[in-house]
Amino acid sequence: SASETTGVFVPTQEDYQKVYNEIATLLQEKDDYDDGSYGPVLVRLAWHASGTYDKETGTGGSNGATMRFAPEGDHGANAGLVAARDFLAPVKAKFPWMTYSDLWILAGICAIQEMQGPTIPYRPGRMDKDIAACTPDGRLPDASQGNKHLRAIFGRMGFNDQEIVALSGAHALGRCHTDRSGFDGPWTFSPTVVTNDFYKLLLNEKWQWKKWNGPKQYEDKTTKTLMMLPTDMALVSDKAFKQWVDKYAKDEALFHKDFAAVITKLFELGVPFDETTQQTPMTLKPTA
Protein backbone atom coordinates (compact mmCIF):
# COMPACT_ATOMS: atom_id res chain seq x y z
CA SER A 1 0.00 0.00 0.00
CA ALA A 2 0.97 3.64 -0.31
CA SER A 3 1.53 3.85 3.42
CA GLU A 4 4.03 0.96 3.37
CA THR A 5 6.08 2.41 0.55
CA THR A 6 6.16 6.04 1.67
CA GLY A 7 5.68 5.80 5.41
CA VAL A 8 2.81 8.27 5.12
CA PHE A 9 -0.46 7.15 6.66
CA VAL A 10 -3.16 7.02 4.00
CA PRO A 11 -6.55 6.78 5.71
CA THR A 12 -9.28 4.62 4.22
CA GLN A 13 -13.06 4.88 4.58
CA GLU A 14 -12.78 2.55 7.59
CA ASP A 15 -10.52 5.05 9.32
CA TYR A 16 -13.02 7.86 8.72
CA GLN A 17 -15.80 5.61 10.01
CA LYS A 18 -13.80 5.17 13.23
CA VAL A 19 -13.59 8.94 13.64
CA TYR A 20 -17.32 9.20 12.90
CA ASN A 21 -18.10 6.55 15.52
CA GLU A 22 -15.92 8.30 18.08
CA ILE A 23 -17.81 11.59 17.58
CA ALA A 24 -21.17 9.77 17.69
CA THR A 25 -20.20 8.09 20.97
CA LEU A 26 -19.13 11.41 22.51
CA LEU A 27 -22.45 12.94 21.38
CA GLN A 28 -24.30 10.23 23.29
CA GLU A 29 -22.07 10.44 26.36
CA LYS A 30 -21.98 14.22 26.74
CA ASP A 31 -25.74 14.67 26.92
CA ASP A 32 -25.84 17.24 29.73
CA TYR A 33 -25.23 20.17 27.38
CA ASP A 34 -27.97 22.61 26.23
CA ASP A 35 -30.99 20.61 25.02
CA GLY A 36 -29.17 17.32 25.53
CA SER A 37 -26.76 17.39 22.60
CA TYR A 38 -23.65 19.03 21.21
CA GLY A 39 -25.06 18.19 17.76
CA PRO A 40 -26.44 21.65 16.93
CA VAL A 41 -23.27 23.53 17.92
CA LEU A 42 -21.18 21.09 15.85
CA VAL A 43 -23.38 21.86 12.83
CA ARG A 44 -22.88 25.56 13.49
CA LEU A 45 -19.08 25.13 13.69
CA ALA A 46 -19.02 23.38 10.29
CA TRP A 47 -21.26 26.07 8.80
CA HIS A 48 -19.20 29.00 10.13
CA ALA A 49 -15.98 27.34 8.97
CA SER A 50 -17.48 27.06 5.46
CA GLY A 51 -19.62 30.19 5.23
CA THR A 52 -16.69 32.61 5.02
CA TYR A 53 -16.17 31.59 1.40
CA ASP A 54 -15.90 34.30 -1.24
CA LYS A 55 -16.28 32.98 -4.77
CA GLU A 56 -14.59 36.04 -6.36
CA THR A 57 -11.30 35.70 -4.49
CA GLY A 58 -11.54 32.00 -3.63
CA THR A 59 -10.72 32.88 -0.01
CA GLY A 60 -12.36 31.48 3.11
CA GLY A 61 -14.35 28.27 3.29
CA SER A 62 -13.77 25.06 5.21
CA ASN A 63 -10.31 24.45 3.73
CA GLY A 64 -8.12 25.99 6.44
CA ALA A 65 -9.91 25.86 9.81
CA THR A 66 -8.66 29.39 10.46
CA MET A 67 -11.24 29.87 13.22
CA ARG A 68 -8.61 28.19 15.45
CA PHE A 69 -6.82 31.56 15.51
CA ALA A 70 -7.86 34.54 17.58
CA PRO A 71 -8.72 37.04 14.88
CA GLU A 72 -11.36 34.75 13.34
CA GLY A 73 -12.31 32.85 16.49
CA ASP A 74 -13.06 36.21 18.13
CA HIS A 75 -15.41 37.43 15.37
CA GLY A 76 -18.76 38.18 16.97
CA ALA A 77 -20.51 35.63 14.76
CA ASN A 78 -18.29 32.87 16.14
CA ALA A 79 -19.07 33.54 19.81
CA GLY A 80 -19.64 30.27 21.65
CA LEU A 81 -18.16 28.00 18.97
CA VAL A 82 -15.24 27.30 21.28
CA ALA A 83 -17.64 24.81 22.92
CA ALA A 84 -17.70 22.82 19.66
CA ARG A 85 -13.95 23.09 19.11
CA ASP A 86 -13.27 21.94 22.70
CA PHE A 87 -15.70 19.03 22.26
CA LEU A 88 -13.62 17.87 19.28
CA ALA A 89 -10.19 18.30 20.92
CA PRO A 90 -10.01 14.71 22.27
CA VAL A 91 -11.06 13.39 18.84
CA LYS A 92 -8.22 15.31 17.19
CA ALA A 93 -5.81 13.91 19.83
CA LYS A 94 -6.97 10.34 19.13
CA PHE A 95 -6.78 10.73 15.33
CA PRO A 96 -3.88 13.16 14.84
CA TRP A 97 -3.59 12.27 11.13
CA MET A 98 -6.76 14.20 10.43
CA THR A 99 -6.70 17.93 9.70
CA TYR A 100 -8.90 20.20 11.80
CA SER A 101 -10.56 21.30 8.56
CA ASP A 102 -11.61 17.76 7.66
CA LEU A 103 -12.53 16.96 11.27
CA TRP A 104 -14.88 19.93 11.69
CA ILE A 105 -16.77 19.00 8.53
CA LEU A 106 -16.91 15.32 9.43
CA ALA A 107 -18.29 16.34 12.85
CA GLY A 108 -20.99 18.47 11.19
CA ILE A 109 -22.00 15.54 9.00
CA CYS A 110 -21.95 13.14 11.94
CA ALA A 111 -24.13 15.51 13.99
CA ILE A 112 -26.69 15.85 11.18
CA GLN A 113 -26.90 12.10 10.62
CA GLU A 114 -27.02 11.26 14.32
CA MET A 115 -29.85 13.80 14.79
CA GLN A 116 -31.91 11.79 12.28
CA GLY A 117 -31.06 13.98 9.34
CA PRO A 118 -30.34 12.87 5.78
CA THR A 119 -27.18 11.07 4.72
CA ILE A 120 -24.48 13.58 3.75
CA PRO A 121 -21.68 12.33 1.47
CA TYR A 122 -18.21 13.06 2.84
CA ARG A 123 -15.01 13.87 0.98
CA PRO A 124 -11.79 14.48 2.93
CA GLY A 125 -8.85 16.45 1.56
CA ARG A 126 -8.92 19.79 3.38
CA MET A 127 -5.61 21.26 4.57
CA ASP A 128 -5.19 23.44 7.66
CA LYS A 129 -3.88 26.94 6.91
CA ASP A 130 -2.04 29.35 9.14
CA ILE A 131 -3.15 32.56 10.80
CA ALA A 132 -2.47 34.63 7.67
CA ALA A 133 -5.44 32.93 5.97
CA CYS A 134 -7.95 34.22 8.57
CA THR A 135 -10.89 35.88 6.82
CA PRO A 136 -11.96 39.46 7.57
CA ASP A 137 -14.88 39.98 9.96
CA GLY A 138 -18.32 40.45 8.39
CA ARG A 139 -18.52 37.51 5.99
CA LEU A 140 -21.16 35.61 8.00
CA PRO A 141 -24.79 36.76 8.08
CA ASP A 142 -26.06 39.41 10.50
CA ALA A 143 -29.32 38.21 12.07
CA SER A 144 -30.72 41.74 12.49
CA GLN A 145 -30.95 42.24 8.71
CA GLY A 146 -33.32 41.21 5.90
CA ASN A 147 -33.71 39.69 2.43
CA LYS A 148 -31.15 41.92 0.63
CA HIS A 149 -28.49 41.04 3.14
CA LEU A 150 -29.23 37.30 2.86
CA ARG A 151 -28.92 37.44 -0.94
CA ALA A 152 -25.69 39.44 -0.70
CA ILE A 153 -24.03 37.15 1.85
CA PHE A 154 -25.14 33.83 0.37
CA GLY A 155 -24.73 35.12 -3.19
CA ARG A 156 -21.07 35.81 -2.37
CA MET A 157 -20.75 32.09 -1.56
CA GLY A 158 -22.60 31.16 -4.77
CA PHE A 159 -26.05 30.21 -3.46
CA ASN A 160 -29.45 30.99 -5.05
CA ASP A 161 -32.84 31.63 -3.37
CA GLN A 162 -33.81 27.95 -3.14
CA GLU A 163 -30.47 27.08 -1.59
CA ILE A 164 -30.70 29.93 0.94
CA VAL A 165 -34.09 28.66 2.12
CA ALA A 166 -32.97 25.02 2.23
CA LEU A 167 -29.88 25.93 4.30
CA SER A 168 -31.97 27.98 6.70
CA GLY A 169 -33.89 24.85 7.71
CA ALA A 170 -30.87 24.08 9.90
CA HIS A 171 -32.58 26.36 12.41
CA ALA A 172 -34.76 23.38 13.28
CA LEU A 173 -31.69 22.68 15.41
CA GLY A 174 -30.29 24.30 18.50
CA ARG A 175 -30.93 27.63 20.10
CA CYS A 176 -29.74 31.18 20.57
CA HIS A 177 -27.77 32.04 23.70
CA THR A 178 -27.82 35.48 25.34
CA ASP A 179 -24.11 35.15 26.18
CA ARG A 180 -23.21 34.33 22.56
CA SER A 181 -25.28 36.14 19.93
CA GLY A 182 -27.42 38.03 22.46
CA PHE A 183 -30.60 36.42 21.06
CA ASP A 184 -32.52 33.94 23.17
CA GLY A 185 -34.32 30.64 22.71
CA PRO A 186 -34.86 27.73 20.29
CA TRP A 187 -36.71 27.82 16.96
CA THR A 188 -38.53 24.51 17.41
CA PHE A 189 -39.81 22.15 20.11
CA SER A 190 -37.38 19.41 18.96
CA PRO A 191 -34.01 21.21 18.67
CA THR A 192 -31.99 18.00 18.46
CA VAL A 193 -33.83 16.44 15.49
CA VAL A 194 -33.46 17.45 11.82
CA THR A 195 -37.12 18.13 10.97
CA ASN A 196 -38.89 20.58 8.65
CA ASP A 197 -40.49 22.19 11.71
CA PHE A 198 -38.62 25.46 11.19
CA TYR A 199 -40.69 26.06 8.02
CA LYS A 200 -43.96 24.80 9.52
CA LEU A 201 -43.62 27.04 12.55
CA LEU A 202 -42.61 30.04 10.41
CA LEU A 203 -45.88 29.66 8.48
CA ASN A 204 -48.29 28.40 11.12
CA GLU A 205 -47.43 30.27 14.30
CA LYS A 206 -48.31 33.88 14.95
CA TRP A 207 -45.09 35.82 15.56
CA GLN A 208 -44.73 39.05 17.50
CA TRP A 209 -41.79 41.19 18.55
CA LYS A 210 -40.43 40.03 21.90
CA LYS A 211 -40.60 42.76 24.52
CA TRP A 212 -37.24 42.76 26.22
CA ASN A 213 -33.94 44.62 26.48
CA GLY A 214 -32.12 42.29 24.09
CA PRO A 215 -31.72 42.49 20.29
CA LYS A 216 -34.90 42.61 18.17
CA GLN A 217 -36.30 39.10 17.75
CA TYR A 218 -39.69 37.46 17.39
CA GLU A 219 -41.49 35.14 19.81
CA ASP A 220 -44.50 32.90 19.13
CA LYS A 221 -47.74 34.36 20.45
CA THR A 222 -49.03 31.06 21.84
CA THR A 223 -46.23 29.77 24.08
CA LYS A 224 -43.65 32.59 23.98
CA THR A 225 -40.96 29.92 24.16
CA LEU A 226 -39.91 29.79 20.50
CA MET A 227 -38.06 32.44 18.56
CA MET A 228 -37.35 33.71 15.06
CA LEU A 229 -34.59 36.07 13.97
CA PRO A 230 -35.30 39.01 11.66
CA THR A 231 -33.41 37.11 8.91
CA ASP A 232 -35.64 34.04 9.49
CA MET A 233 -38.75 36.18 9.09
CA ALA A 234 -37.40 37.55 5.79
CA LEU A 235 -37.91 34.04 4.37
CA VAL A 236 -41.68 34.52 4.57
CA SER A 237 -41.95 38.25 3.87
CA ASP A 238 -40.00 37.86 0.60
CA LYS A 239 -42.24 36.18 -2.01
CA ALA A 240 -39.45 34.38 -3.87
CA PHE A 241 -38.11 32.90 -0.63
CA LYS A 242 -41.60 32.04 0.66
CA GLN A 243 -42.36 29.72 -2.28
CA TRP A 244 -39.60 27.45 -0.99
CA VAL A 245 -40.68 27.77 2.65
CA ASP A 246 -44.14 26.55 1.51
CA LYS A 247 -42.63 23.56 -0.31
CA TYR A 248 -40.37 22.49 2.55
CA ALA A 249 -43.14 22.92 5.14
CA LYS A 250 -45.31 20.51 3.15
CA ASP A 251 -42.68 17.93 2.31
CA GLU A 252 -40.06 16.85 4.82
CA ALA A 253 -38.52 14.32 2.40
CA LEU A 254 -37.95 17.10 -0.15
CA PHE A 255 -36.37 19.24 2.57
CA HIS A 256 -34.04 16.39 3.61
CA LYS A 257 -33.02 15.80 -0.02
CA ASP A 258 -32.38 19.48 -0.80
CA PHE A 259 -30.72 20.09 2.57
CA ALA A 260 -28.29 17.22 1.95
CA ALA A 261 -27.39 18.63 -1.48
CA VAL A 262 -26.93 22.21 -0.34
CA ILE A 263 -24.99 21.43 2.84
CA THR A 264 -22.65 19.24 0.79
CA LYS A 265 -22.06 22.20 -1.51
CA LEU A 266 -21.52 24.50 1.51
CA PHE A 267 -19.03 22.14 3.15
CA GLU A 268 -17.01 21.84 -0.09
CA LEU A 269 -16.82 25.54 -1.06
CA GLY A 270 -13.27 26.37 -2.04
CA VAL A 271 -11.92 22.90 -1.30
CA PRO A 272 -9.45 21.91 -4.04
CA PHE A 273 -10.15 18.17 -4.20
CA ASP A 274 -7.46 16.31 -6.06
CA GLU A 275 -9.37 14.61 -8.86
CA THR A 276 -6.52 12.17 -9.47
CA THR A 277 -6.65 10.58 -6.02
CA GLN A 278 -9.47 8.72 -4.38
CA GLN A 279 -12.11 11.41 -4.16
CA THR A 280 -15.30 9.41 -4.48
CA PRO A 281 -17.63 10.76 -1.78
CA MET A 282 -18.06 8.25 1.03
CA THR A 283 -21.16 7.43 3.01
CA LEU A 284 -20.48 7.07 6.70
CA LYS A 285 -22.89 4.85 8.59
CA PRO A 286 -25.05 6.33 11.35
CA THR A 287 -24.84 4.49 14.66
CA ALA A 288 -28.60 4.05 15.20
- What is the Cα–Cα distance from 271 to 40, expressed in whole angstroms? 23
Write out the binding residues for ligand CCH, residues 211-230 only, by CB under 6 A: 229
Rounded least distance, CB 126 to ligand CCH, Å:
18
Provide the 10 A C-beta neighbour count for residue 45. 27
Q: Which of 47, 187, 207, 244 is catalytic?
A: 187
The verdict on 194 binding ligand CCH (CB under 6 A) reads: no
109-132 residues labelled b (16+ CB within 10 A) or e (exposed): bbbbbbbebbebebbbbbebbeee
The verdict on 174 binding ligand CCH (CB under 6 A) reads: yes
Nearest 5°: the CA angle 229, 230, 231 is 90
Active-site residue, 187 included: yes
The residue range among 38-46, 66-74, 194-202, 278-286 that interacts with ligand CCH, by the rule CB under 6 A, is 38-46
67-104 residues labelled b (16+ CB within 10 A) or e (exposed): bbbeebeebebbeebebbbebbeebbeebeebbbbbbb
Length of the chain: 288
Taking residues 151 to 170 in sequence order and writing x for each that binds ligand CCH by CB under 6 A, - otherwise, the string is ----------------xx-x
The verdict on 180 binding ligand CCH (CB under 6 A) reads: yes
Rounded least distance, CB 68 to ligand CCH, Å:
18
Residues lying near ligand CCH in the complex (CB under 6 A): 40-41, 43-44, 47, 80, 141, 143, 150, 167-168, 170-171, 173-177, 180-181, 183, 229, 231, 263
Which residues are part of the catalytic machinery? 48, 187
